[in-house]
Amino acid sequence: MIMKKLYVIAGPTACGKTAVAVELAKQIKGEVVSADSMLVYQGMDIGTAKPTTEEKQNIPHHLINIITPDKTFSAAEYQRRAVKAVNEIYERGKLPVLTGGTGFYINAVLYGNDFLDELADMDLSHNKISSNNLQYIIEKTIQYKGIIVSEDLRDNGKRMLLNLGHTFAHALEATAGFENISHGEAVAWGIMQACALGLELGITPTDRAGKIKTLLVSSGFDYSKSNPVSSTAKFLEVIESDKKKRQNKITFIVPDTQSAKTVVLDDMNILEKIIKGGISF
């Protein structure tokens, strides 16, 4: 991760933050990024200490008056827009001065949001996802892939995390017949199985598995459909043959508290239980 300089001026409304921020921005060649949940709204100028043109002293201010008051504005949406504004400020060779009284806005910029929560904030249903959101998801996933690959240039194991759900998916495709299930569908199902395995092993927290399930459902995955594995025996056979190829070990990726981790499974009984059980969480 590249660390860049960012100034934060935090405090309650009407404690003189604007004046300090503007003065600082003048001295360091900065621009102000507002972190105030009231100032994002157009109108609503009374009691919100919205800086006047005079107070701004020609210093650019971002994330003020950006939406109409009838719209809801989530922390995830704020984070997305604020990070974009901050990056553009860096691109202009200037420094951001994050100023405001909304603590969770400031935290969202400094520490980021959980990507699952951000996704939960969007309408992911087919044909409804906005091009903005789609672009954001693509950018973010490429960014994550880039980080993981750069941390594991020689492909020593960490990169496997990108294959969450795939071990199950490939076995399902081989069992069901590739022409009967799309790769995407198989992977969605595989991710659910990976969650089920993680739950069984006590690695995946229940709320995380629930979040993943909700996201898959909201994006159109129908988990209530009958178990796509017509024959558990055939499925396990496919996995077993894979296992032989890999020196009698089979590695699965399961979600954990923060991201995902690899587990080496030699007990096929656990697997059988999960496949037979369908998706029951």
Tell me the number of residues near Zn ion by CB under 5 A. Answer: 1
Q: How far is the CB of 165 from Zn ion (least distance, A)?
A: 8
| Residue in 34, 6, 31 with CA at minimum distance from that of residue 89 | 31
| Residue in 144, 192, 167 with CA at minimum distance from that of residue 264 | 167
Q: Which of residues 23-82 bind Zn ion (CB under 5 A)?
A: none
Of 61 and 166, CB closest to Zn ion: 166
Alpha carbon distance, N-terminus to C-terminus of the chain = 36
| Residue in 137, 145, 115, 134 with CA at minimum distance from that of residue 208 | 115
In Å, what is the CA distance from 70 to each residue of 41, 43, 81, 109, 182? 9, 11, 19, 24, 41
- Using CB under 5 A, pick the residue from 17, 61, 80, 166 that binds Zn ion: 166
Q: How far is the CB of 166 from Zn ion (least distance, A)?
A: 4
Torsion angle of the four alpha carbons 142, 145, 147, 153, in this order, in degrees rounded to the nearest 10: -130
Closest residue to Zn ion: CB criterion = 166
Of 62 and 166, CB closest to Zn ion: 166
Q: How far is the CB of 173 from Zn ion (least distance, A)?
A: 9
253 binds Zn ion (CB under 5 A): no
Interface with Zn ion (CB under 5 A) = 166
